[in-house]
Structure 1
Amino acid sequence: MQWESWVPNKVNLLVWRAEFARIPTRDALVQRRIPIPTMSCPLCEVDDENLKHLFIGFGFAYGVWSFICKWCKVDPFCAFDFKDLLLLCDNIGGNKWRKKIMRGIVMVTIWVLWKTRNAKVFQQKTSRVGEVVAEVKSFSFLWIKNRSKFKNVEWKDWSDFPLYICN
């Protein structure tokens, strides 16, 4: 996995740990022999929660990724496992910074999905797809503006199409 400098370390660490299936999803907790009341996903309450289901395999995650693809003006993709998400940015054309920004947006999306899951588990807070996408847009804007060479990024332009700064 490539770490992105414009994304905070907490996001890089989460994605790195997820790549090796080292985040505490319910199936991972059961494998470590930690008793939990239910294996079902806290967001959909239909299937068992595992890494693939949480980030790829259920309707909520699919809706988030669909909006992210539309926002970034990239073709919708099909991911079969978590590592496919990390390869998404390699399949888009353009220069080095275009790929770095897209990789960072994918990482931020993973982090926001994980935060949404934790808000549901620990605070019983329910979120909608639009709220998650708005959070991805705002966090990624804040971090790219303050942690990269792109200091002149404007919110209006970023919220319409984030890859405009690489054209």
Structure 2
Amino acid sequence: MGVKVKFGNGLTSSFWKDNWKANVPLCSKYHRLFHLDVNGDCSIDDRVHNGEWAWEWVRPIGPRYSSLLQEMKIELDNISLNNDVDRKVWSLSNEGVYKVRDIRALIDISILPSWNLATRWVKQLPRKINVFIWRVAWNRLPTRLNFLARGMDIEDIGCPLCDYNVESLDHLLFGCVMAKELWLKVKIWVDMDVARDCSSWSEWVSWFDSWSGASDSKTKLYVFVASLLWHIWRFRNSKLFGSNSMKKAFLFDSI
């Protein structure tokens, strides 16, 4: 993916190994036929004679591969060579020119989660909390489980707040005993089933988007919940790294 051959006379392009017709080289798509060719390194021009395809097999193509050959012929229909020189082009852009942004987009598609998620930027929240919530939404916080998933040698992957479960992001912010205590206080404070026993940020956002509250009420609730999660994360770091600046008894009051 990325580099593709734009053939002309077919003299310098490999019939089987270059990406010139399909989205993958023909040797990958029709690998059984490829292994029957007397010359796996043949050029496109080597396989054309008087405007017709000229095959050279190590043995006759029997019924077993005849349908496969017919399929490839259909795919290669209307292919004609010309006097232009073969050249390689960049297939990730319409202009055929290499661009770093195309590679970056490809990497993002390959690595980042594929589910559709709109970025929320709430002006009533400090920038650091908006960024924090973005990282929560994409599971990009440095929890112990995330470190382990990235190949780091972690002695203890337990939750530092309850020491009962693995410290995943969902557990820390929604499933931990301390988190559940704080969510219960939120329900009481706003006098509604705000969390609906959600076990992850995506579940809570789904509930929040379906809630038919007034715009002002929704903004206040979102700001409050974002602040709640921010303070849970700060308290976690305070306990994990030995700081005594945050006390659990006053955590809810500090939101």
TM bucket by the smaller chain? Answer: 0.7 to 0.9
Structure 1: how far apart are the matches of 2:208 and 2:220? 9
Trace 1:148-167 onto structure 2 (pairs within 5 A): none
Trace 1:1-167 onto structure 2 (pairs within 5 A): 1-76=119-194, 77-123=196-242, 125=244, 127-128=247-248, 130-136=249-255
- Structure with greater Cα Rg: 2
Deviation at 1:89, TM superposition (A): 3.5
| Structure that is richer in helix per residue | 1
Gaps of 5+ in 1: 137-167
Deviation at 1:92, TM superposition (A): 4.2
Structure 2: how far apart are the matches of 1:63 and 1:91? 24
SS of corresponding position for 2:241: helix
* TM-score, scaled to structure 1: 0.74
Structure 1: how far apart are the matches of 2:206 and 2:227? 15
Structure 1: how far apart are the matches of 2:167 and 2:220? 29
SS of corresponding position for 1:123: coil
Question: What is the alpha-carbon root mean square deviation over aligned residues?
Answer: 1.8
Percent identity (aligned): 26
Q: Which amino acid aligns with 2:126?
A: P
